[in-house]
Amino acid sequence: MKRILILLVSIAAVGGLVGWRLFTKAKDTQMQAQGRLAMAKSAPPVTVSPVELRDIVQTYVGVGTVVAPFNVKVAPKVSGRLDFLQVREGAPVKQGEVLARIDPSQIQAMVNQQQAAVAEAQSRLSQAQLTRLPNSVNVSTQIQQQAGALASAKADADQVRQASNSAIVTAQAAVTDAQAKVDVATSAIRNAEATVRSSSANVSNYQAKYNRTYDLYKQGFIAAQDVDDAKTALNVEQESLNVANTQLGSNKALLALAVSQKSSADQQLKITLVKTKSDIAAADAKVKQAAAALKYAKANTAQNPAYEQNLAALRSVVVAAQAQLRNVQSQLEDCILRSPIDGFVTARYVDPGAIVSPTQPVVAVQALRDIFVDTTVPEDVAGLLRAGQTTDIQFDGLPGRRYHSTISQITPAADPQSRLFPVRTILTNKDDAVKPGMFARVSMVTHRVPNASVVPREAVQRTKTGASVVVVDDKDIAQRRTVRLGDEDAKGIQILDGVSPKELVITLSNAKLKDGQKVKPTLIDARAQKAGSDTKGKTADADVKHD
């Protein structure tokens, strides 16, 4: 009886526990249903943004290269030894600044000689002017003296021509001899190269022979002496090859020396030709002077026309001597090499002590103040650009900096290989930070729509039938509107009709909205965000933006 009572009590306890669990679960289910109903009736939160009134700007970004507008290779006008050159690559120079000097001693000697000739001609002219009035000198004696002077001047002129011809022949012979040395050295190189090829072939042959002998020796078919003989023969041929290579190098050095001698002989021939021409001209002038003096002597000393002709001849001699003096003085000035532009030295081709000529540049100077940035664009973009248009440029080598340039040239013909149109912009390089050859990214405006109604891209919903946006009115009611889209850029899409500026459009919603449903909007003002971002950017980049 006691056991039955305990069993009944246990059953009653379990039943009560089960009933309490069922009651609790039903209550929780009821509360959850009430919560879902409350959430369904409440306004869902959404993010909205106003319709902006701004410009739609479309750009094209091309890659470009920095090019210096002026790249001048400074070369001398006269030949000679370079005795002064201190500028190095990277040195800034000003227009007119002395870059280098050529040894002026030879030209200075020519200047001194010509100055003496001018002084002599002026002295003779002065003497003729002093003796203009008739004198008692025997006319026949004067004629004999002047005839002798003319004969002497002609003899001197013939002697000058012979000496000039001899000097020219000697200089030409030196050129011919130097050319012969070049030809001999070239032939010797060919022979040495043939010897090297022959020795190389012999080495390969003896190497193969040695390998075969060694293989036979390892197999026991021949004696070790045969292997040694083959090895010795191979070493002899290898030594012959080394000697041939040495001889080839020596011949190449001789060729370089011969070429240098040939260049020096050519320069000496040019100098000789100039000097002989000047000497012959001076001798001819003396002949003319003597002839004029003889003519004067033959005339009556009392006759003014004869004196006038003599004076005119002497004046012509003075003028000719002065012209020759100015010529050699200009050559003396040409010994100084000056920078033709403001810029930087970008290359140095020779060192002091070298012999330079008018065909050989000494340094290169590039202007870096207003520089070019060259890029290319496709044909559809080229038609949208115009000269004078402003562009933005950034350089990978100057991170964080942004420069402004102006389009100066749009080539009307495309490159036949790439089918791209070259575009050149001008950039003012105020701090000289941009260098030729740097990689650039050029941003160019290709299309602009002013005062467009723009919404964020995420606000537009596209379907097969068209596009729409959800507008929130002043009572927080969502209304779906069909819109017509226009141009777009990276920041938004133009709405041609369907919305008005400053209306709010939904950009983000966690729930599917119904037309006419009340919402709880959170405003994100894109213009305020942009203004804040621009303010930060201006503060951070104030020191790196350049016009």
The residue among 472, 468, 494, 493 whose CA lies nearest residue 481 is: 468
Q: Which of 374, 291, 363, 457 is nearest to 69 (CA)?
A: 374
- CB contact burial 303-342 (16+ within 10 A = b; e otherwise): eeebbeebbebbebbbebbbebbeebbebbebbebebebb
* pTM to 2 decimal places: 0.45
Q: What is the Cα–Cα distance from 277 to 275, expressed in whole angstroms?
A: 5
Chain centroid, CA 36 distance in Å: 72
Q: Which of 49, 66, 162 is nearest to 435 (CA)?
A: 66
What are the φ/ψ torsions at residue 212 (nearest 5 degrees)?
A: -65, -40
Q: Could you report how far apart the first and last alpha carbons of the chain are, in Å? A: 109
Residue 300 to residue 306: CA distance in whole angstroms: 7
Asked if residues 435 and 368 have their Cβ atoms less than 8 Å apart, the reply is: yes
CA dist 423 and 415 (Å) reads 11
Beta bridge partners of 493: 455, 488
> Quick one: angle between helices 139-218 and 224-298, nearest 10?
170
DSSP class per residue in 157-214: HHHHHHHHHHHHHHHHHHHHHHHHHHHHHHHHHHHHHHHHHHHHHHHHHHHHHHHHHH
pLDDT at position 541 is: 34
Token pair belonging to 187: 């032939």
Pairing of strands 336-338, 421-428: unpaired
Q: Cβ of 158: how many Cβ atoms within 10 Å?
A: 12
Cβ contact 321:281 at 8 Å? no
Tell me the Ramachandran region of residue 268: left when phi exceeds 0, alpha when psi lies from -120 to 50, beta otherwise: alpha
Residue 15 confidence (pLDDT): 66
Q: Are 445 and 59 in contact (CB under 8 A)?
A: yes
8 A C-beta contact, residue 295 and residue 105:
no
Query: What's the CA angle centered on 504, arms 499 and 509, to 5 degrees?
Result: 115
* Residue 115 amino acid letter: Q
Q: Helices then strands (H, E): number in the chain? A: 7, 22
Alpha carbon separation from 463 to 453, 459, 468, 483, 484 (Å, rounded): 21, 13, 8, 12, 12
Distance CA 510, CA 506 (A): 11
Domains of the chain: 77-102+335-360 (2.40.50.100), 136-300 (1.10.287), 370-546 (2.40.30.170)
- Report the relative pairing of strands 520-523 and 45-50 from DSSP bridges: parallel
- CA-to-CA distance for 343 and 51, rounded, in angstroms? 52
Q: Are strands 504-509 and 520-523 parallel, antiparallel or unpaired?
A: unpaired
For residue 372, how many C-alpha atoms fall within 13 Å in the half-sphere facing its CB?
A: 14
Half-sphere exposure of 546 (CA within 13 A, CB side): 21
Q: Tens of pLDDT along the chain (547 residues)?
A: 566 666 666 776 666 666 667 767 776 676 665 555 545 557 889 999 999 999 888 889 999 999 888 888 888 888 888 888 888 887 888 888 888 888 887 777 777 888 888 888 888 778 777 765 544 345 566 776 777 887 888 888 888 788 878 878 887 888 788 788 788 878 888 887 888 888 888 888 888 888 888 888 888 888 888 878 888 888 888 888 888 888 878 887 887 887 888 788 788 878 888 888 888 888 888 888 888 877 776 665 555 566 677 777 877 888 887 888 777 777 777 788 888 888 888 889 988 888 888 888 989 888 888 889 999 999 889 888 999 999 999 998 899 899 999 999 999 999 899 899 999 999 988 888 888 889 999 999 888 899 899 999 898 999 888 999 999 988 889 999 989 999 888 889 999 998 989 899 999 888 788 888 999 898 875 444 444 434 333 322 333 333 3
Torsion angle, CA of 69/73/76/81, rounded to 10 degrees? 150
Tokens read off for 341: 């532009």
Q: Which tokens is 166 given?
A: 């001899």
Cα separation, 532 vs 526, in Å, equals: 10
